Amino acid sequence: MPVQLSKIYDNLCDMADKAFGDAGDPCNKQKGFVCHDCCEGCKYLDESGCITNCLGCKLYICFTLQKEQPHLRAVLNGLRNIASRYNFVRMRTSGEEILKG
């Protein structure tokens, strides 16, 4: 796993987390809340919430939030465009799996 790709991945994850925080944490992601509509059945979901660092999941917001949070949607779309260049946008996949290729 090239260090540069790992740093890019981690930076994009941090930027997505910051975008949610700046938007007032509408999904309570920073408090460990997991939306069961989005996450139900995921192998990385346990009693404490999500146990991996998945950029694809961090960049996803539901249709309701897209309408309620247009600025968040725009920021996440920009990050998703960057992440797509590196093939980082895969849902329910650990960062380690994504970086392996």
- Has residue 75 got a pLDDT over 90? yes
Q: pLDDT tens digits for 12-67?
A: 999 998 998 888 777 666 555 556 567 778 888 887 777 888 899 889 888 888 88
The pLDDT of residue 1 is above 50: no
> Which pLDDT band, with edges at 50, 70 and 90, does 91 fall under?
confident
Phi/psi at 14 (nearest 5 deg)? -60, -40
Q: What is the DSSP letter of 50?
A: E
Helix (H, G, I), strand (E, B) or coil at 46: strand
Domains of the chain, residue spans = 3-100
Q: What is the pTM of this model?
A: 0.83
